[in-house]
Amino acid sequence: MPAISNKIINRLTLYHCLLKYTFKEQRSISSFEIAELLDLDDSLVRKDIALCGVLGRKKGGYPINELQQAIEQKLGFAERKEVFIIGAGNLGTALVNYADFKDYGIDVLALFDNDSAKIGQEAGGKKILALDKLQNLIAKISIKNIILTVPPQAAQEVTDYAVKCGVQFIWNFTPVILKTPKAVTVYNENIVSSFLQMHNFI
Amino acid sequence: MPAISNKIINRLTLYHCLLKYTFKEQRSISSFEIAELLDLDDSLVRKDIALCGVLGRKKGGYPINELQQAIEQKLGFAERKEVFIIGAGNLGTALVNYADFKDYGIDVLALFDNDSAKIGQEAGGKKILALDKLQNLIAKISIKNIILTVPPQAAQEVTDYAVKCGVQFIWNFTPVILKTPKAVTVYNENIVSSFLQMHNFI
DNA sequence: TAGATTGTTAATCGATTAACAATC
DNA sequence: TAGATTGTTAATCGATTAACAATC
């Protein structure tokens, strides 16, 4: 199965939002309605939907429930994705409280930090643990994902340690481009880039 | 001048991070070094850089300082971009504390909320104001950008109000697809989409 | 000099849009 | 029925990669 492109993933999550919030009371929706609200071409919407294996009716469009479930299936919302957050600062504690995570199957198990004032505390109902506990915990419960929200100056060092512990996916919220072995996947989340993109239309 | 594509904007911000954090001690950098660290084709890097108007040396690559400044110029980091945050919950208060904003010229002036327990308080050194103060304030100081971090059920209503007040750019952190007039630009920030994209490689 | 690296053109690849027959 | 809307193919558009002459 060919990997589905990042752009398609992003559009599918937006269709899903639309079904879940805007059209939750309707039975069906047409490619034109989706296209209109997201400012896309309607045939692009139909292609994306075809990819999810949902069939529409020649009149009356696509069944909302089935489409919503097909997107969840395609993108793996139901698979439980366990993550650790490393760095219990502002961003880390905001993310552990981020309500939408659980809708997508993302489950934050704990936070880690180096600051002894934070260790032992809780954030969003999850424990903040000493960073040096990471190795043992990963060895025990085999966590593959971390969310990296440490200060820039610590980013590479913490990454090296996490990789040594066996982490395979790093969702990088720091502005530092990390050096990692090829087997580790890093996604650089550059939030401000979105803001700049939004203003590019002028 | 043709609008520069979103993908290019995103790559330029990553180059900028690289120059600012990883290579801040070096004088120059080659397209091969940038390409290697970001897993890109080197000629793509050269094209992006050409777009910023920076000339390299046939031996020795590109001057770091000049390239960094050219990217800042191209993406408008120096222009002050004033924003209001609407919704002083977890995400809103995390964003007002987000240190990187100021590096990109984004200046959060105040937060707005409907919760009387929050109104009058501060977050990240900025005042939390009653939402109904928005109209007067925008009329006075002409703010064009809002960051929307309200609960989903309030998203559309608050948007309608903000649009009425004259807001032109909405950075939408809610999972609701907003209905707005064509003249208003909405950027749907779907954070989880990045996580799903990261896992698409398997 | 020889080697490294740019700047740029041409070739390829992938994503989007246009168009329309099929049909409920 | 007539109209709405899908599913899909072909055409277009845009982005990436390959290739290489120029040159410091």
**A166-201 pLDDT, tens per residue?**
999 999 999 999 999 999 999 999 999 999 999 985
Q: What is the pTM of this model?
A: 0.95
Reported confidence tier of residue B3, pLDDT bands at 50, 70, 90: confident
Q: Which two tokens stand for residue A111?
A: 């936070």
Which residues of A, range 72-101, sit inside 8 Å of B by Cβ? 75-76, 81, 90-91, 93-95, 97-98, 100-101
pLDDT beyond 70 at B41: yes
Domains and CATH numbers, chain B: 6-75 (1.10.10.10), 81-195 (3.40.50.720)
| Position with higher pLDDT, A117 vs A200 | A117
Residue B2: its pLDDT value, please?
A: 55
Distance CA A172 to C1' D17 in A: 27
Cβ within 8 Å, pair B197-A37? no
What is the 8-class DSSP label of residue B12? H
Residue B1: its pLDDT value, please?
A: 47
Percent of chain A with pLDDT over 70: 98
Reported confidence tier of residue A113, pLDDT bands at 50, 70, 90: very high
Which residues of A, range 159-178, sit inside 8 Å of B by Cβ? 169, 171, 175-177
pLDDT beyond 80 at A65: yes
A185 touches chain B (CB under 8 A): yes
Distance CA A83 to C1' D8 in A: 41
Give pLDDT tens digits for B49-60: 999 999 999 989
User: In the predicted model, what is the mean pLDDT of residues A133-161?
Assistant: 97
Q: Is the CB of A176 under 7 A from strand C?
A: no
Q: Is the CB of A57 under 7 A from strand D?
A: yes
Q: Which two tokens stand for residue A190?
A: 């550059």
Cβ within 8 Å, pair B192-A100? yes
Q: SS3 sequence, chain A?
A: CCCCCHHHHHHHHHHHHHHHHHCCCCCEECHHHHHHHHCCCHHHHHHHHHHCCCCCECCCEEEHHHHHHHHHHHHCCCCCEEEEEECCCHHHHHHHCCCHHHHCCEEEEEEEECCCCCCCCEECCEEEEEHHHHHHHHHHHCCCEEEECCCHHHHHHHHHHHHHHCCCEEEECCCCCCCCCCCCEEEECCHHHHHHHHHHHC
Residue B201: its pLDDT value, please?
A: 54
Angstrom CA distances, A54 to A103, A200, B1, stand at 21, 35, 41
Cβ within 8 Å, pair B190-A37? no
- Which residue in A25, A177, A188, A189 has the most chain B C-beta atoms within 10 A of its own C-beta, making it the best mutation to test that interface? A177
Residue A2: its pLDDT value, please?
A: 55
Residues of B in contact with A169 (CB under 8 A): 198-199
Bridge partner list, A107: A82
- Measured in degrees and rounded to the nearest 5, phi and psi for residue B23 equal -115, 20
Give pLDDT tens digits for B130-186: 999 999 999 999 999 999 999 999 999 999 999 999 999 999 999 999 999 999 999
Half-sphere exposure of B77 (CA within 13 A, CB side): 19
Residue B27: its pLDDT value, please?
A: 95
Of the candidates B95, B198, B200, the beta carbon closest to that of A171 is on B198
Among chain B residues 25-44, those with CB within 7 Å of any atom of strand C: 30-32, 42-43
Cβ within 8 Å, pair A98-B90? yes
Reported confidence tier of residue B200, pLDDT bands at 50, 70, 90: confident
Give pLDDT tens digits for B98-138: 989 999 999 999 999 999 999 999 999 999 999 999 999 99
Mean pLDDT of chain B: 96
